[in-house]
Structure formats: C-alpha cells, structure tokens
Amino acid sequence: MPRKAGRRKKKRTHVVDNENGVGALTSQETLKVPKSLVIRRGRAEAEVIELVTDIRKMMSPYTASSFKEDARNRKVTLAYYVNQLAGPMGISHFLSLTQNDSKLNFRIARAPTGPTLSFKVNQFSLTRQVRAVQRRPYDSQQAFSHAPIVVTNNFGDNTAAPHVKLMRITFQNMFPAINVASVKLVDCRRVVLFNFMRRDVKEEEKSEKENQNDDSPEKEEEDEEVEVRHYAIRATPVGVNRKVRRLIQAKIPNLSKLEDISDYITGQTSAGAPAPVATTGNVSDSEPEDETSHVELAQKYSGKGNAKSQKSALKLVELGPRLRIKLMKVERGIVSGDVMYHAYVKKSINEIKEQRSKIEQAASLKKRRREEQDQNVARKKAVKDAKLDAKRKRKEEREKQAMGKLREEANIAENDNDESSSGEDNQEYSDAE
C-alpha cells in the first residue's frame, strides 16, 4: 500500500522583517549590534546579586538575561570570560561587578582587545526600591523588547579630557545606534541617561578649612561622577477631558452611584451634588496634561489615543536601577596592559615612558620564555619519538627473528617427516619382494 503523504509544510527562504516589512535588522546589521554580558565575580551580598539582574534588564534585549556564573570559582577572571565567550557568542561588551570588604567595583571591558574601564560604585538603588516610592509604577513589559535611547549629558565636546571622551564613547557603543530615517516611534520606549557631574573640590576644601579651625586630616572627595538613570517614556493624549481620556485608555471608573454617563463627565450626581471621589476615576492633579512636554506625534505611538498627528504629552517614568559611579582606572587591554588613566596616581611623561618600556620588556621576556619553552617541549618530544621508534624497530626485529626460527623449525620437521615416510615405503617394498 503506498504511503499517504501528509500536509505540506512551508519553509520560508526569506527573512520576515516585521508586520509592516520595514525597519527590521538584516543579517549584516545584526552582526553590528553590540551585545553585552553582565556578570558577577566572587561572592556578594543579595543586593548586589539583585543589582546584576536589574542591569541585565536595563541592557535588554541584546544581553544574556539568564546567565549563570560560578561565583565560588575565583579563578574565573574577566579575561577568561572574554577569551571564551567573545568569539563564539559575539559579545562586544562585558560588564563585571565585584564586591570586597571596602567597596563595590564595576568594570566595562570592550572585547576582544580592550580597553577596560574600572569604576567605583559610590551609590546605587535597586529597581524595587525605585518602584516602592512611586505612585504609579510602569508595568508594561513591551518596552524591554527594544533597545533604549542613550543620552549622554554634560560630557563636553571634542575639547573634553581624553578619559571623559572615552567614557562617552563607551556608554554610547554599549547600545545599538538608532537610524533616524528608518526608526519607528513605537520602538522608542526607554531612555538610559548618563549624566557626568563635576565638583570643584578645591573651593569646597577652602570653605571647609575656613569653617573648621582644627587640624583634622583632609577628606578625599569625589570630583567626578557619572549618574546612570533608566526611564520609560509614557505618552498621554492632550486636548481631551481627563475623564474622557481615562475611558479611552480603558480605565473603567466606578459608575454605580450615577444615572448617566454625562454625570461622570460633569462631575455631578442626579441630585445636583458633586460626585463622590470614587466616581471621578481617581484623577490625579499631576497628570501629564499639566506639563509642558507637548509634542505632535509623527507616527502612531503606544497606548490608546496616541495616533498619528495627535498632540500628546510625554512623561518619563523612572524604572531603575540608579547608579553613581566614579572612573578609577583605564587599562589598554582586558584588565591588563599599560594604565592610560588613573584617578589618583598622576605620572609624568618620563614615568609613563619608563612604565611602557617595562611593560614592553616584560612582554618580550614572556614571549622569549614561551619560545624557549616551546623549543624545549619540541626537543623532548623529538627524543621521546626517537626512543619510541627505536623500541618499535627492536620489537619488529625480534618478531622477524622469532618468525624465522619458527619457519626453520617447521622446514626441519617437514624434511624429517618426508625422510621417515620414504624409509617406510622402501621397507614395505622390500618386504613385498
């Protein structure tokens, strides 16, 4: 009986961009999208572990959200992660958090060759702590399906210090760039803000010395910090009554004590008295309509009522986490190489040249020792192979000699058998005569 064919399954040979067929990433563009990995090295407090999860959510969607690291294995360094995962996984940035008894370190390494920026975390707030003080936290998860917009504030222009420009470039390159010509407005749902803050430490020290007449030791104050904030963009249509807007947004109010929908709009009951607070839909006085961030949308945006050419009010709702970090050191390689910048150790040009020459000498010495070790290993292997070849040849010779002896013994035995058989034949012939 012939086999009955099943239903044909279509196999797509083309890439489906999205529902409209516009704005999706091609294979070449996907390779250029920066991918990150947020890890925790060593043992840490529960708050630090939660901070790692919050940073992964902030870096989504181009990050490993459920990566499991072995915090007990202290031999797994940041360079090991870069060497093992940068190539196979296509990861471009590694973010590492390490805690010790005195401070919390935060490192950003650019794979595969560096540089590595080492920060000190002065303050941080978790996402749950930010949400706990908000009246209406942001609950939508669709915003995390697209990369956020990166805003770098107060980093200066091309005349800024080299380490400040390096921080700005690093922060921008951790997230995919936005093509203004083809970007969709509905994809712009989040904002990550990097705010560079400076303080004039000398003036503060002078004011403190004037206020204090004692000989107490001077305190080291942070003169440069970077504040990291994470926001969601919420759009609300304006030019519409607040109560009508809540109906458009599917926020059904309590209409149990009203006879008509017009009573809800006007805020009056059937008796003419003001409607109770519960029937007004709990409209807050801090609605976005009272703010000045009114824009006319060029495209349809998320949320009901935010149509094209519609005037809407934009509001930023903080998602968390918050970070205040200070740049401590910049290394040329992956946690190695010469120090390009240090926050507290200042060196002259001669000292920098001397340090670089020492690093080059150490690298050349390491290379020469590696070559010598490889030569020694090759020489020992050649001696071992020669011994094995000699042993194999001796074994083959012994086997040949043993086989020769066996053949000789077999020939002798065969000759003896022939002679004995011929003698017996002659004796029988003589007896017969």
Distance CA 135, CA 128 (A): 13
The reported pLDDT for the residue numbered 210 is 56
The reported pLDDT for the residue numbered 197 is 92
The reported pLDDT for the residue numbered 278 is 39
Q: Which strand (E) or helix (H) includes residue 211?
A: helix 201-211
Give yes or no for a cis peptide into 112 (omega within 30° of 0): yes
pLDDT single digits (tens) 88-129: 889 999 999 999 888 999 999 999 888 999 999 999 999 999
Which of the 8 DSSP states describes residue 223?
-
Tell me phi and psi for residue 120, to 5 degrees. Answer: -110, 125
pLDDT single digits (tens) 277-308: 433 344 443 344 444 477 777 777 776 667 77
Distance CA 257, CA 275 (A): 8
Longest pairwise C-alpha distance within the chain: 160
* Alpha-carbon separation of residue 248 from 150, 241, 242 (angstroms): 31, 10, 10
Q: What is the CA radius of gyration of the chain?
A: 39
Q: How many beta carbons lie within 10 A of that of residue 417, not counting itself?
A: 10
Q: Which strand (E) or helix (H) includes residue 170?
A: helix 162-173
Distance CA 344, CA 326 (A): 12
Residues of the chain with pLDDT under 50: 16-24, 214, 216-221, 275-292
**pTM of the shown model:** 0.68
Residue 230, burial from CB neighbour count under 10 angstroms (0-12, 13-18, 19+): buried
Residue 53, burial from CB neighbour count under 10 angstroms (0-12, 13-18, 19+): middle
Beta-carbon contacts of residue 133 (< 8 Å; ≥ 6 apart)? none
Structural domain spans, the chain: 27-200+220-237+315-346, 352-433
